[in-house]
A and B are shown apart, each in its own frame.
Chain A
Amino acid sequence: MLFLIAISIALFASKLSNVSSYSSYEDASAKEGKTVQLIGVLDKSQPVDYDPVKDPNSFSFHLLDRDQKQVHVVCYDDMPRDFEKSDEIVLTGKMKENTFYADEMLVKCPSKYQENEITK
């Protein structure tokens, strides 16, 4: 019994190193080449480039990270629906030179529970 408990604690402890943090542009640049999670909002003043005619598997945009710094992001996947309406974006990827290359993205859309206006 104790043996089992000991193993579980060992396994747990080894997994604890998986608790990561959200990074900012500075953090990601510092850890260039390592996979990090970048969090931010879509910079709506910059265009979002997705041209499925040219390549349906990549699109690029600019992100404003936690410190309001602008990051150029290239995401190698199709662009999610209603991307421009996103609230917040979490990207998993690596920084290379001045661009963040993401292979996974989680997009939070405006909550349906924001009941502040009656739309026509």
Chain B
Amino acid sequence: MEESHQHLIQEINPIFGQIGHIFILTAFVTAIFAAYMYFRSVQTPHPDRKVYFSKLGRGFFIGHAIALLSVVVTMFIMIFNHHFEYHYVWSHSSADLRMKYILSCFWEGQEGSFLLWTFWHVVLGLFVIRLAKEWEKPVMSIVSLVQVFLLTFVLGIYFGDFHVGSSPFLLLKDKLTTDPVFLFNDYMRFIPDGRGLNALLQNYWMVIHPPVLFLGFASITIPFAFALSGLWLGKYTEWIKPALPYALFSGMVLGTGILMGGAWAYESLSFGGFWAWDPVENASLIPWLVIVAGLHTMVVAKSTGHALRSSYVLVFLAFFFVLYSSFLTRSGILGDTSVHAFVEEGLTNHLLIFVGTFVLLAFIPLFRHWRKIPHAEKEEPTSSREFWMFVGSLVLLFSGLHVIFFTSIPVFGALADLVNRIFGTSLNTDLAPPEDPIHFYTGVQMWVGILIALLSAFGQFFKYRFSSAKLVLRQLAYWIVLSVIATIITSLLLDKIWHTTADRKIFHLVTSYTIIIFSGWFSIIANTAYVFSVLKGRIRVAGGSVAHIGFALLLLGILISNAGQRVISVNNFGVQFDGEGMDDTFQRENVRLLKNVPLPLQDYQVTYLGDTVIAGATYFDLQFQKFDAETGELLQDFTVHPYLLMDNKMQQLAPNPDTRHFLTYDVFTHVTSLPGDGSKNAAPQISSDSIAVGDTLSFDTGIMVLREVNRVGGKDTIGASAIFDVRIGRATETLKVNYLIDMQKGTVSQGTTASTLGNVQIHFDAILTEQNKFVFTIEDRSLNTDWIVIKSIIFPMINLVWLGVVVMAIGFFISMMHRRKEGRKSIQTSSE
């Protein structure tokens, strides 16, 4: 803890940046060559030249992989060793950052997340090289090309004022050239620490969500490349079999990654939920909806020859939406509409070029080959599996388009602005997205969920080409009846635990709930029945059914946890509630708890016990007790610890909720307010003193006794190391703080050390040698915590959401393995 703060005069090591930059350039150039060589290997008619070029291409790609890996390793070394002379390290990490969050630093910034994307492409590319046989050449050519474009974002090459990309290896000095601190040669002594990782990202979900999400995004490139290769080679149908496992992989990973983001939001934001229809969330959802639609049409195309052209369109769209979502998130165009919005200057045009290029590269050949692509003359018969699967894909596509249309409203505003400027018109540029995104999107998407659940329930009971609708209905009859019974039972049960539901605004009619519950049950029951009665229990080929069950569980979980969520901390105490302008939709959801004074909050008696400070975070201990209404027996007794995290500069307080998980519901609590915290931050108390060994410094919550001061020094340095015994409450610790003079450079380092017991810092200002005294400054930012304000919510059956995601992922996985086996058999039997 203390060592990390005591930087001696920080060396400026330009070597890392130089090496790193060379690696990036190498990766860039090798990607270009790989793309070109693979391209030649496809275009050349001679078989031995084909082999020659593809070997070269492969070699270059592997070189590219090594270079990129080296970039990643270099960056980690820089972050790990706290090289704050580099802008990226300074901007996203700090000396006291816990080891487990080092990974998060890597992708907190634009450059890092681009690198993460390219890293996954390399991993996937290596799989393609190993497994794709003759498809390797065209697919890898395309993948390498995508890498080239992605790397332009981190090149950091400057032509005067204009620059291509932003390199993560820039020195702080080179990026913030005008800051006066750089007038000194040894400016690092003014910069002992980085800005640190955003407090909200210091959470284990943020360590795993971005890489999984980006793997999901990157994985869509592969089916895209296969589809485009199909056009390129004129092999309009053969690409589907090998591409299908990759598309299923995308569905599995991207879906999981998206909901991990939801889990993060639920665990660490005080929003109270896992999906807010925030534009950035929406942008990541669309590619998933479209690739799932696409993989269904691919399955149809594989089995019947219908929907081949739709498969091209959907797979191309899925990739387009990955690029478009990157554009939305990174260009800053979302501006006012999203709390996530990242703003980066100059990126917009670069992103537009990236998106535009691939739109042209994909859709122009598609137009040109459109008529040559095999397509059935007649439409699918209604009474067939392919018809209903196609309908399902359409519903998914529609769902995606609905979300992206309204999420893109700021883009329309910007476009209108552009049109105005070019043509002098005066279109309204001030468009705002829907006022209440949650109600708005849920209103429509709920029906999407219902349709998908229903379609995925009965669709499989149709055979390809034709099934008698009457027969199918008879098969389903049992399951329909069973589902109705299950729905009734569930509704009655839910009615009991819902009492008054907080948010009936979303679903106006009880009928909507019932339809959703029925759809969910029907999907679960019918799919299970399908596995056992039709597939005879062979799970290996039941991936689709398993995934459909997972989706249905997810749907039920979303309904019940959302519609049934109940605020426990309803404030009916004391205060006059005749606030003007209020109507009864305004919920009073925050309650103030005095220390050690229990309050009855709906089902629970809640007591604020006090707070504990551990490593810069203040944890608030809240005891929840449930007593039996009649007997008074203690039924439940647990404590939650929502906390406020101090970022390392002790300026930002990020509130983190704490959730107690039970099997059938969660109790979610977070702190909304503290004394002295209302409209101003807790003002620090700063005091300076000159003391001798044995003296005591006191501050608001404790004392520090100067135990000893030792002389320290080396070849060129001389100084003192002060050791304090700190006591806060009943806890004690030892702190060391140094004062060092560099004789050779003539500079002084005044150390600062923070206590891990409380929000207190001590600074070694000076040594008064004649009096044998030392000067210290204490900065005390401890919080007054006599009372806190909390909000607490019960989420029923939210575990169904997580269960649903897991089951859905398992379903995708089973399918992927099954299709891979199918694909391998077909490649062996097909001839070059």
When the two chains form their complex, are residues B432 and A15 in contact, meaning their CB atoms are under 8 A apart? no
Structural contact, A111 and B342, CB atoms closer than 8 A: yes
Chain A residue at smallest Cβ distance from B180: A118
Which of B64-72, B586-594, B658-666 participates in binding chain A?
Answer: B586-594
Assess the A20–B179 pair: CB atoms within 8 A.
no
A49 to B342, CA, bound (A): 30
B571/A101 in contact, CB under 8 A: no
Taking A37-B432, A116-B176, A118-B181 as contacts, is the C-beta distance between A84 and B679 under 8 angstroms?
yes
Interface residues of A in 66-120 (CB under 8 A from B): 74, 76-79, 81-84, 88, 90, 92-94, 96, 99, 101, 103-104, 106-109, 111-113, 115-120
Q: Return the CB mask of B578-592 against A: 1 if under 8 Å, else 0.
A: 011110011011111
- Whether the Cβ atoms of B673 and A79 lie closer than 8 Å is yes
* B431 pairs with A56, CB closer than 8 A: no
Partner of A1, one of B191, B343, B379, B432: B379
Q: Are B176 and A118 in contact (CB under 8 A)?
A: yes
Asked if B435 and A92 sit within 8 Å, CB to CB, the answer is yes
Task: Please give, as numbers and ranges, the residues of chain B lying within 8 Å of A35 by CB-CB distance.
Answer: 435
A4 CB–B CB distance under 8 Å: yes
**Nearest CB of chain A from residue B200's CB, rounded to whole Å:** 10
- Chain B residues with CB under 8 Å of A50's CB are 673, 678-679
Q: Is the CB of A37 within 8 A of B435?
A: yes
Complex contacts, A63 vs chain B, CB 8 Å: none
Q: Is the CB of B591 within 8 A of A56?
A: yes
Bitwise, A36-59 to B at CB < 8 A (1) or not (0) is 110100000001111111111110
**A-side interface residues toward B, CB under 8 Å?**
1, 4, 8, 11-12, 15, 18-22, 35-37, 39, 47-58, 74, 76-79, 81-84, 88, 90, 92-94, 96, 99, 101, 103-104, 106-109, 111-113, 115-120
> Do A92 and B789 have beta carbons less than 8 Å apart?
no
A82 touches B652 (CB 8 A): yes
| A75 shortest CB reach to chain B, Å | 10
Q: Give bound CA distance, A108 to B175, whole Å.
A: 25
| B195 within 8 Å of A (CB atoms) | yes
10 pairs, CB–CB < 8 Å, chain A vs chain B: A19-B433, A20-B434, A50-B679, A58-B579, A78-B590, A78-B791, A111-B342, A115-B176, A118-B181, A120-B190
Partner of B571 from the list A1, A37, A51, A57 (CB cut-off 8 Å) is: A57
Q: Does B398 contact A (CB under 8 A)?
A: yes
Given the interface pairs A20-B434, A57-B589, A115-B175, the reply to whether A81 lies near B654 with Cβ below 8 Å is yes
CB distance from B557 to the nearest CB of A (A): 25
Partner of B394, one of A4, A76, A96: A4
B113 contacts the other chain (Cβ, under 8 Å)?
Answer: no
Instruction: Give Cα A90 to B588, complex, Å.
Output: 21
Instruction: Report the minimal beta-carbon distance from A56 to chain B, rounded to whole angstroms.
Output: 4
- With beta carbons under 8 angstroms apart, the residue of B432, B589, B590, B791 that contacts A22 is B432
Question: In the assembled complex, which residues on chain B have CB atoms less than 8 Å from the CB atom of A55?
Answer: 575
Q: Chain A residues near B591 (CB, 8 Å)?
A: 56
Q: How far is the CA of A82 from the CA of B652 in the complex (A)?
A: 8
Q: Which of B190, B435, B579 has the most CB of A within 10 A?
A: B435
Measured between beta carbons, the chain A residues less than 8 angstroms from B575 are 54-55
In the bound complex, residues from chain B placing their C-beta under 8 Å from that of A115 are 87, 91, 175-176
Q: B389-417 CB contact bits vs A (8 Å, 1 = yes)?
A: 00100100010001001100100000000
B649 within 8 A of A: yes
Nearest residue, chain B, Cβ from A5: B394
Interface centre among B405, B592, B679 (most CB of A within 10 A): B679
Return the CB mask of B157-198 against A: 1 if under 8 Å, else 0. Answer: 000000000000000100110010100000000110001001
B679 touches A52 (CB 8 A): no
Q: Give A109's nearest chain B residue, CB to CB.
A: B339
Q: Which of A56, A93, A106 contacts B789 (CB 8 A)?
A: A56
Within 8 Å by CB of A19, from B176, B409, B579, B582, lies: B409
What's the interface size class on B, roughly? Answer: 35 or more
- Digit string of B340-359 for contact with A (CB within 8 Å is 1, else 0)? 01111000000000000000
Residues of B within 8 A of A76 (CB): 579, 582, 586, 588
Does B440 lie at the interface of the complex (its beta carbon under 8 Å from any beta carbon of A)?
Answer: yes
20 other A-B residue contacts (CB within 8 Å) besides A77-B589, A81-B655, A88-B336: A4-B394, A15-B440, A18-B406, A18-B434, A19-B434, A20-B431, A21-B432, A39-B336, A49-B679, A52-B789, A53-B592, A56-B592, A76-B588, A79-B673, A79-B679, A81-B653, A84-B680, A101-B580, A108-B341, A118-B179
Chain A residues with Cβ under 8 A from B394's Cβ?
Answer: 4
Chain B contacts to A: CB under 8 angstroms: 87, 91, 172, 175-176, 179, 181, 190-191, 195, 198, 336-337, 339, 341-344, 379, 391, 394, 398, 402, 405-406, 409, 428, 430-436, 440, 444, 571, 575, 579-582, 585-586, 588-592, 649, 652-655, 672-673, 678-681, 787, 789, 791
Q: How far is the CB of B42 from chain A (nearest CB, A)?
A: 36
When distances are taken between beta carbons in the complex, the residues of chain A under 8 Å from B181 are 118
**Which residue on A lies nearest to B788, using beta carbons?**
A52
How far is the CB of A101 from the nearest CB of chain B, in Å? 3
Whether B789 lies near A78 (C-beta < 8 A) is: yes
Point out the residues of chain B lying under 8 angstroms from A106, CB to CB.
336-337, 339
| A88-B332 Cα distance, complex, nearest whole Å | 14
Known: A81-B654, A84-B680, A119-B649. A92 touches B179 (CB 8 A): no
Q: Which residue of B lies closest to A92 (CB)?
A: B435
Bound complex: CA of A12 vs CA of B791, how far in Å?
Answer: 37
B179 touches A21 (CB 8 A): no
A99 adjacent to B580 (CB under 8 Å): yes
With A and B bound together, what is the CA distance between A53 and B339 in angstroms? 29
- What CA separation (Å) do A52 and B579 show in the bound complex? 15
User: Closest CB-CB distance, A72 to chain B, in whole Å?
Assistant: 11
Contacting pair A113 B344 (CB below 8 A)? yes
Q: In the bound complex, do residue B430 and residue A56 qualify as a contact, i.e. CB atoms below 8 Å apart?
A: no
List of 10 A-B pairs having minimum Cβ-Cβ separation, nearest first: A101-B581, A78-B672, A56-B590, A56-B789, A57-B588, A52-B673, A48-B679, A50-B678, A18-B434, A52-B789
Q: How far is the CB of A98 from chain B (nearest CB, A)?
A: 11
Question: In the complex, A62 Cα to B373 Cα: how many Å?
Answer: 62
Instruction: Decide if B580 touches A21 in the complex (CB within 8 Å).
Output: no
- Tell me the bound Cα distance from A104 to B406 in angstroms: 19
Bound complex: CA A84 to CA B677 (Å) = 12
Residue contact A8 to B398, C-beta cutoff 8 Å? yes
Nearest CB to that of A49 among chain B residues?
B679
For B198, the chain A residues whose CB sits under 8 A away are 112
CB contacts (< 8 Å) of B175 on chain A: these are 115
Q: What residues on B are CB-neighbors of A83 within 8 Å? A: 679
A113 to B336, CA, bound (A): 16
B662 to A: closest C-beta gap in Å: 26
Q: What is the CA–CA distance of A15 and B443 in the complex, to the nearest angstrom?
A: 10
- Most B Cβ at <10 Å: residue of A12, A58, A103, A112: A112
Of all chain B residues, the one with the shortest Cβ separation from A7 is B398
How many angstroms from the CA of A4 to the CA of B398 in the assembled complex? Answer: 10
Contact of B428 among A21, A94, A99 (CB under 8 A): A21
In the complex, what residue of chain B is closest to A53 when comparing beta carbons? B592
Given A48-B679, A57-B589, A115-B176: A20 and B581 interface contact (C-beta under 8 Å): no
- Closest-by-CB residue of A relative to B579 is A58
